[in-house]
Amino acid sequence: MKKFITATLLMTTVISAGAQNAERNIIRIATDNTDLVLEVGPNNRLYQTYLGPKLMHDSDIRNLSWNQIAGSDGSVSTRGWEAYSTSGNEDFFEPALGITHADGNMSTYLYYQNHTRSEVPGGTLTSINLKDDKYPVNVTINYVAYPKENVIKTWTEISHKEKKPITLSQYASAMLYFNEPQYWLTEFSSDWAKEAQMSSQQLQFGKKVIDTKLGSRAAMFTHPFFEVGLNGPVKENSGEVLMGTLGWTGNFRFTFEVDNAGNLRVLPGINPYASNYMLKADEVFTTPEFIFTLSYDGAGQGSRNLHDWARKYELKDGEGSRLTLLNNWENTGFNFNQDVLSKLMVEAKHLGVDMFLLDDGWFGNKYPRKNDRAGLGDWEVTHDKLPGGVAALVKAAQDADVKFGIWIEPEMVNPKSELYEKHPDWVIEQPNRETYYYRNQLVLDLSNPKVQDYVFGVVDNILTENPDVAYFKWDCNSPITNIYSPYAKDHQSQLYVDHVRGIYNVLKRIKDKYPNVPMMLCSGGGARCDYEALKYFTEFWCSDNTNPIERVFIQWGFSQFFPAKAMAAHVTSWNRNTSIKFRTDVAAMCKLGFDIGLHELSADELAYCQQAVANWKRLQPTVMDGDQYRLVSPYETNHAAIECVDKQKNSAVLFAYDLAPRYQEKLPAVKLQGLDPNKKYLVKEINLMPGSKSRFSGNDKTFTGDYLMKVGLRPFTDRHNNSTVIELTAQ
């Protein structure tokens, strides 16, 4: 048994805690608030013995048992919570790993070999090496614990030395267990213009699966994140909640299984649907990263954990500032020319934003992109439309004193394009069936390195020819249709996985060469929103639905997992029945942009927008980098309130929205959070329409943080589609 004792400091501590531990190999993965404890059982397999609030005393770790499961007759079963359970073993519930070995045997047993610890930015990486005793199969489970943010990131590597390829039929990123009286799942369903819709249900015996099979626009119907309320429905400010998200821009699957003994196992990973993976000897199959936090104070704290973690360690330029912008998609659609765009750049400057973003419709010559039926793939400026090319656009932006950004959708092709004519074999399409289309387009086969080069070239050519292009909006409007790759030949079942890896190869090359170019991730709205993609993107487009009422819900949903600075929100003409102030105040809780013609605005409305942009820029450190508190839920009331507090607790912003209050409804006070109880804050309504006075009772008054958190403010009104933005400044 001695060989299983590790050299970690922790192990030394545990060993010295009592002679009975000397023979036990316990691996503790700890953040400041959470412990995940694993133990090598007497059979030399690895078990989860604990996941929950941090244990105060090291000595208690020895009281945890690898063998958690008592049989219904009171007998102790030999089944434990195996850390990475495999097919063919005595567990009988959903495994993490399913392998068909080269000889056809479908069982795998993993035994502990050793583990290592190393420091990585922000945390500690623990890698545990496991091995089958009958087959040369190696599995390494990795955990990075980020102590301050209370986040754990985990993924698995699978490799082997069998004589022929082995087939992976299941390959979860991780496996976690819980034993609580109840489990409540909050899921995030979606569709075009209906992203991040939250609903919850109790998990009972059996399985609940959330998965997607869309391939490229993968998160169109559901997003890669979830919450599980442990022992009750998820609440905002109390209760234990698991919040998990998978960094994978393709098909994903979350399996939640409650077993015969009432244990819940959670299996996040790539969706193995139509994706048996033939793993060659010495090839390493690395699963996507699963990122989770456990909060003991509800989802609000869990979100703040993830926001902090994302800004520091994951999101591209997570700690940098963001550019406000004027986009032209909702305003002009495909209908523009150099003159129109030059005028919009001047409008952008007039509005006070940093950048003009040119959307779809600027490319294609043989098949000009006049609508969504042609041109995708031909990334050359349409000469008739924009005779001066991108260079003239960049110059016009410089003349207007704004930056210039540009839209691309480089993974896609219209059959009506020169690219398709030249390279029909670069496209995912069935050789022997009728083709079906989504938005008249097809997906390029990114598993093919030549296609990867081409897609990299789309960005590289633009930036080589026009180094002053300051921003990209990278769109992806189609799921993978007609799944078949001419390149993959007899490896068709790897296409869903290899395609996504191909996208990452391209994105990595872009980031390596252009580390400072910000990019927006877009997928017909918010159908791409995961933390692997966000290593390469500074923000994502939450939804084409910019109706502010719907946006309050959509942003509420995404805010559970993403910091405000990762969420792009634009003021548009969706729902003209609402005021420009309301539309802007809703967008201002995220990364603010506009996508509207200034001719639509009255002089007062324009003046209001200019002031709102200036306020947003001034308050950017508080709203983008502060702690966010979701105070009043639109799901539970006819209002919503969100507060941001800077880390020093000197500045805060309260966004209060009246959605559809009932007649003479009792309006609740809004109790703030996260302030310093001993500081005094001057409270001031901002973003007022020119000439209008604040009707907010607390305006221009000073309150202590203690008062604001215990008594609160009264920003809500009985008006529909109304907003009040309040700035709090410590005196």
- Interface residues with ligand DGJ (CB under 6 A) are 329, 359-360, 407, 475, 477, 522, 524-525, 541, 544
**CA–CA gap between residue 189 and residue 557 (Å, rounded):** 10
Residue 561: DSSP 8-state? T
CB of 38 to ligand DGJ, least distance (A): 43
Closer Cβ to ligand DGJ, 524 or 674, answer by number: 524
Taking the least distance from each CB to ligand DGJ, the nearer of 316 and 528 is 528
Kindly state the smallest distance separating residue 341's Cβ from ligand DGJ, in Å: 15
Task: CB nearer to ligand DGJ: give 335 or 648.
Answer: 335
User: Considering beta carbons, is residue 428 or 568 the nearer one to ligand DGJ?
Assistant: 568
Q: For the CA atoms of 482, 486, 492, 496, what is the dihedral angle to 10 degrees?
A: -60
Q: How far is the CB of 407 from ligand DGJ (least distance, A)?
A: 6
Euclidean distance between the first and the last CA atom of the chain, given in angstroms as a whole number: 63
**Does residue 389 come out as left (phi exceeding 0), alpha (psi in the -120 to 50 range) or beta?**
left
- 401 in the Ramachandran plot: left (φ > 0), alpha (ψ -120 to 50) or beta? left
Nearer to ligand DGJ, 173 or 414 (CB): 414
Q: Are 547 and 575 in contact, with CB atoms under 8 Å apart?
A: yes
> Which residue from 267, 268, 10, 247 is spatially nearest to 115, judged by alpha carbons?
10
Give the nearer residue to ligand DGJ in terms of CB position, either 129 or 371.
371
Helix (H, G, I), strand (E, B) or coil at 107: coil
To ligand DGJ, the closest distance from the beta carbon of 307 in angstroms equals 24
Q: Are 150 and 241 in contact (CB under 8 A)?
A: no
d(CA 594, CA 605): 13
Q: How far apart are CA 247 and CA 492, in angstroms?
A: 23
Least distance to ligand DGJ from the beta carbon of 474, Å?
Answer: 10
Distance CA 18, CA 60 (A): 11
CB within 8 Å of 602: residues ≥ 6 apart: none
User: Taking the complex as a whole, how short is the minimal distance between the CB of residue 359 and ligand DGJ, in angstroms?
Assistant: 5
Partners of 87 in the β-ladder = none
Q: How far apart are CA 288 and CA 530, in angstroms?
A: 11
Residue 357 beta carbon to ligand DGJ: minimum distance, rounded to whole angstroms: 9
Distance CA 105, CA 191 (A): 41
Strand partners, 137: 160
Q: Which is nearer to ligand DGJ, 254 or 356 (CB)?
A: 356
Residue 158 or residue 406: which is nearer to ligand DGJ going by CB? 406
- Residue 213 CB, shortest distance to ligand DGJ, in Å, is 21
- The least CB distance from residue 146 to ligand DGJ, in Å, is 32
CB 624 within 8 A of CB 563: yes
CB of 655 to ligand DGJ, least distance (A): 23
- Closer CB to ligand DGJ, residue 440 or residue 505? 440
Closer residue to ligand DGJ in complex, CB, 222/293: 222
**Is the Cβ of residue 155 or residue 540 nearer to ligand DGJ in the bound state?**
540
Shorter beta-carbon distance to ligand DGJ: residue 47 or 471: 471
| CA separation for the pair 234, 245 (Å, rounded) | 16
CB of 699 to ligand DGJ, least distance (A): 37
Cβ atoms 266, 175 nearer than 8 A: yes
Q: By C-beta, is 123 or 593 nearer to ligand DGJ?
A: 593
Shorter beta-carbon distance to ligand DGJ: residue 368 or 524: 524
Could you please report the per-residue DSSP string of 493-516?
GGHHHHHHHHHHHHHHHHHHH-TT
Helix or strand run (H / E) with residue 277: strand 277-279
Which residue, 271 or 546, has its beta carbon nearer to ligand DGJ? 546
Q: Do the Cβ atoms of 308 and 300 come closer than 8 Å?
A: no
CA dihedral 372, 374, 379, 384 (to 10 degrees): -100
With H, G, I as helix, E, B as strand and everything else as coil, classify residue 400. helix
Specify the residue, 149 or 359, whose C-beta has the smaller distance to ligand DGJ. 359
Give the shortest CB-330-to-ligand DGJ separation in angstroms.
Answer: 8
Shortest reach from residue 502's CB to ligand DGJ, in Å: 22
CB 466 within 8 A of CB 522: no
**Shortest gap between Cβ of 63 and ligand DGJ (angstroms)?**
53
Nearer to ligand DGJ, 145 or 567 (CB): 567
359 vs 532, which CB is nearer to ligand DGJ? 359
- Residues 694, 695, 698, CA angle at the centre, nearest 5°? 85
Helix (H) or strand (E) holding 38: strand 34-40
Task: Compute the distance between CA of residue 337 and CA of residue 361 in angstroms, rounded to an integer.
Answer: 10
Q: How far is the CB of 70 from ligand DGJ (least distance, A)?
A: 53
Nearest to 583 by CA among 563, 558, 609, 559: 609
Minimum separation from the CB atom of position 414 to ligand DGJ (A): 12
CB 140 within 8 A of CB 73: no
């966000």: which residue's tokens?
534
Six-digit token pair at 193? 């213009």
What CA–CA distance (Å, rounded) separates 576 from 554?
19
Structure tokens at 485: 């790759």
- CB 633, min distance to ligand DGJ, A: 26
Which amino acid would we find at residue 473?
K
The nearest distance, CB 260 to ligand DGJ, in angstroms, is: 46
Alpha-carbon span 278 to 163, nearest angstrom: 13
| Half-sphere exposure at residue 156, Cβ-oriented, CA atoms within 13 angstroms | 22
**Bridge partners, residue 627, by sequence:** 645
Q: Which amino acid is at 189?
A: S
Q: Are 533 and 521 in contact (CB under 8 A)?
A: yes
* Residue facing ligand DGJ at closest CB distance: 360
